[in-house]
Amino acid sequence: MIGHLNEETVISLRDINKTYPGAVPLHVLKDISLDIRKGELVSIMGASGSGKSTLLNILGILDNYDSGTYMLDGTAIRDLSENRAAELRNRMIGFVFQSFNLISYKNALENVALPLFYQGIGRKKRNRLAMEQLERMGLADRAHHLPGELSGGQKQRVAIARAIVTNPSLILADEPTGALDSITSGEVMGVFRELNESGMTIVIVTHDPGVGASTNRIIRIADGRIEGSSDTPDFKKEQ
């Protein structure tokens, strides 16, 4: 634990900069500073190309940044080895993607159990824990179906079950409703809210103002800078 950090802070970014190298280097994130507290449900919104996914990838230890500091649950995230990064992702972060990213030849249960496999947890216990999460998502009867046999909403709920099966400190979702119709999006957001109510910290990147409105806080990003951060008062009303 680092002294100056609030115990409640899960994510703490200070002056993060990221430039994609290339013939024309692209300075995508510019002095991003941001705190996300434990138990928050936050959305990141902004125009296409503004750097939302880049930011989320850095938060998820999927990508490096050039300067600044990033503390995740008290751990400094900087120049980690591939092994250490994999371990931290596995234990601390659950990912939900727009395109689900389920493994097509594994059934729902096996997909959900996979992060536990990489923790070295035995098969029986793995399947039990995975089943619990599928039940929580209302998908117990779909446990032995392949992703191809599931609807978009069901796939995303399997992906969420996989994200939470390791009981991570943080859920990161990049456009989790981007591929879903509005009714299904509403259902998926309902799942995120329930998870949030049970204490989970969730960061969602979205284009959809409706999705943004159903989080407690919207962080707006424009051209690689944080434009502003505002609580959503409607959120409480919706409950």
Partner 1 sequence: MKTSIFDIENWQEIGATLARNKTRTFLTAFGIFWGTAMLAMLFGGAQGFEGMMRRNFAGFATNLGGVFSNRRTVPYKGFNKGSDWDITSQDVEIIRRLAPAIEYSTEMNLRSATAAYGTQTKSANAMGVEGEYAGIMNPVIIEGRFINNSDVTNERKVAVIGKNIATSLFGSDSPIGKYISVDGIYFLTVGVASQLSEVSIGGRLDDNIVIPSTTLRRAYNSGNKVNFFVYTAPPGHSPSDNESVMRRVLATAHSISPDDKVAIEFMDISEQFEMIDKLFLGISLLALFVGFGSLMAGVIGVGNIMWIVVKERTREFGIRRAIGAKPLDITVQVLSESILLTLVAGTLGVCFGALVLGIADSLTYDPLLGHAGFELPFKTALIIVGTFFLLGSAAGTVPAIKAMKIKPIEAINDK
Ligand X SMILES: Nc1ncnc2c1ncn2[C@@H]1O[C@H](COP(=O)(O)OP(=O)(O)OP(=O)(O)O)[C@@H](O)[C@H]1O
Q: By rule CB under 8 A, what string of x and - marks binding of each residue 143-182 to partner 1?
A: -------------------x---x----------------
d(CA 52, CA 143): 33
Burial environment of residue 82 by CB neighbours within 10 A (0 to 12, 13 to 18, 19 or more): exposed
Q: Is 2 in the site for partner 1 (CB under 8 A)?
A: no
- In the bound state with ligand X, the residue whose beta carbon lies nearer, of 115 and 224, is 224
Q: What does 235 bind: Mg ion, ligand X, partner 1, none (CB cut-off 5 to 8 Å by kind)?
A: none
Determine phi and psi for 174, rounding to 5 degrees: -100, 110
Return the HEC string of 74-113.
CEECCCCCHHHHHHHHHHHEEEEECCCCCCCCCCHHHHHH
CB 215 within 8 Å of CB 200: no
- Residue 154's H or E segment, with its range, is helix 152-164
The residues near 60 (Cβ < 8 Å, ≥ 6 apart) are 89, 93, 95, 172
Q: Which is nearer to partner 1, 155 or 162 (CB)?
A: 162
Selected from 2, 26, 86, 140, the binder of ligand X by CB under 6 A is 26
Mark the segment that binds Mg ion (CB under 5 A) among 45-53, 181-189, 192-200, 220-228.
45-53
187 binds, among ligand X, partner 1, Mg ion, none (CB under 5 to 8 A by kind): none
Would you call 238 helix, strand, or coil by DSSP? Answer: helix
Q: Which of helix, strand or coil describes residue 128?
A: helix
Which of 9, 12, 53, 166: binder of ligand X (CB under 6 A)?
53
Supply the minimum distance, in Å, between the C-beta of residue 203 and ligand X. Answer: 13
Stretch that binds ligand X, among 48-56, 112-120, 134-142, 149-157 (CB under 6 A): 48-56
Binding region for partner 1 (CB under 8 A) = 57, 60, 62-63, 82-83, 86-87, 89-91, 95, 97, 99, 101-103, 105, 114-115, 117-120, 123, 162, 166
